[in-house]
Amino acid sequence: MGWPKIELRLSDVEPPDPDIPKTIYRDRFNLPDPMLLGLTARYYNWDDIQLYFRVTGSGPGYTFGTVNLGALVSGANAYINLDQFASRPKPSGEVEEEITLILRAYTDAGYTTLRWTYERVVHVKIIDSNDPSYTVDVLNNFDDGTVQGWAAANEQGNMAGKPTVVVVDDYVLSAPYSLRMEAQAATTGIGEVRSRLYKSFTTPDKNNVFAIIEYRQGQETATTYYKYNAVQRNGTTLVFLGRPYAATAESFVPKNKWMRIVVSLPRNTTLEIRIILDHYSPGSTALVRLVIDDFRIISKD
């Protein structure tokens, strides 16, 4: 069987290496009904002609949107962040299920002449962090008025002394405090600014260990465009949302709303959780902010 003419990937593994199986972890606790699903995908055109791409999905109990991705020339690939791409009724407890992401390629801008279809099965595990079977091993809610061991580091482009972390009370999930990382470009004009919020943990010796990250980005002091967020275990990317940096006047990930990322962690391991914010501030040294609250590590056998 030959190499597919189009493909959709959910990892940073580069072709020709095969993509790795994907599990999306979610936590039903305190989420609305229905639950909304967003993700970032990367799609490829290996045909000899320009194609027009469309993505949708299917799965028992799910409702999927249909997103037209536009044209992609031969040999190119692109990222798309699909915010609120799908929904499902909130389950009464924990479930494991599969959904299918469907990438279609057309030869015309009207999406009438279908040329290729590519399907990708994704495993979804919905946990319930409020279930008493879980132990809450770490709860960082910053309500003691301290940063509780979190720190920030400049990966690229910040001015001297930035990014910083501070306890604040303006955007919180549990009063009175949350933690805010503040980043700021070192110079005006075009440039990438990438910042890291991080902390080390030792995970419990149990079969199921999850980190639940609640975060909100925004509150910039001037025009700013958010390129991507990533959650890493040490240097390994577990979740990537958005697109790689581009000096364009558009944001690739949402801002000014709370978002939740759930990741699975290895048992009995000392590791560093890193939350990455990448942004672009044209023509100004805008101060940008990322807030976290009620960070948890939970576990059970």
34 preceded by a cis bond (ω within 30 of 0): yes
What's 6-127's CATH class? mainly beta
pLDDT given for residue 1 in this prediction: 45
Residue 188 has pLDDT above 90, yes or no: no
Report, as an integer, the average pLDDT of 14-26: 94
List, for residues 104-157, the tens digit of each pLDDT value. 999 999 999 999 999 999 999 999 999 999 999 999 999 999 999 999 999 999
Mean pLDDT across the stretch 60-78? 97
Model pLDDT for residues 196-252, shown as the tens digit of each residue: 999 999 999 999 999 999 999 998 888 889 999 999 999 999 999 999 999 899 999
pLDDT of residue 189: 63
pLDDT at 257 exceeding the cut of 80:
yes
DSSP string, 231-269: EEETTEEEEEEE-S---SSS-SS--SSEEEEEEE--SS-
Torsion sign, CA atoms 222, 226, 227, 232: positive
Structure tokens at 129: 């962090």
Q: Which of 79, 11, 7 is nearest to 239 (CA)?
A: 11
Spatial distance between the Cα atoms of 273 and 299, rounded to a whole number of angstroms = 16
pTM above 0.85, yes or no: yes
Cα-Cα-Cα-Cα torsion 253, 257, 258, 262, nearest 10 degrees, comes to: -20
Q: At residue 45, does pLDDT exceed 90?
A: yes
The backbone torsions φ and ψ at residue 265, rounded to the nearest 5 degrees and listed phi first, read: -120, 150
Write down the mean pLDDT value for the chain: 95
d(CA 14, CA 258): 31
Contacts of 195 (CB under 8 A, 6+ apart): 152, 153, 154, 155, 158, 162, 163, 181, 183, 276, 277, 278, 290
Q: Are 168 and 180 in contact (CB under 8 A)?
A: yes
DSSP for 134-190 reads: SEEEEEE--TTSS-TT-EEEEEESBPTT-SEEEEESSS-SSSS-EEEEEEEBSSSSS
Query: Which value, to the nearest 10 degrees, does the dihedral of the CA atoms of residues 158, 160, 166, 170 take?
Result: -60
Is residue 284 over pLDDT 80? Answer: no
Beta bridge partners of 195: 154, 277
H-helix segments, the chain: none
Instruction: Give the Cα separation of 167 and 194 in Å (integer).
Output: 21
The closest of 97, 107, 172 to 127, measured between CA atoms, is 97
Query: Where does CATH 2.60.40.10 sit in the chain?
Result: 6-127
The neighbour count for residue 283, using CB atoms within 10 Å, is: 10
Work out the pLDDT band at 2, boundaries 50, 70, 90.
low
Tell the residue number behind the tokens 């549990």, with chain if given.
174
Name the more confident of 294 and 190: 294
Q: Judge whether 291 and 171 are in contact, CB under 8 Å.
A: yes
Q: How far is C-alpha 13 from the chain's CA centre?
A: 16
Owner of token pair 């190119």: 76
Question: Looking at the predicted structure, is the pLDDT value of residue 3 above 90?
Answer: no
- Do residues 242 and 227 make contact, with C-beta atoms less than 8 angstroms apart? yes
d(CA 240, CA 232): 9
- The half-sphere exposure of 276 on its side-chain side, counting CA atoms within 13 A, is 26
Domain 135-300, what fold?
Answer: Jelly Rolls (2.60.120)
Rounded Cα distance between 254 and 277, Å, is 12
Confidence category of residue 92, pLDDT binned at 50, 70, 90: very high
CATH 2.60.120.260 residue spans of the chain: 135-300
- Please give the share of the chain, as a percent, with pLDDT higher than 70: 98
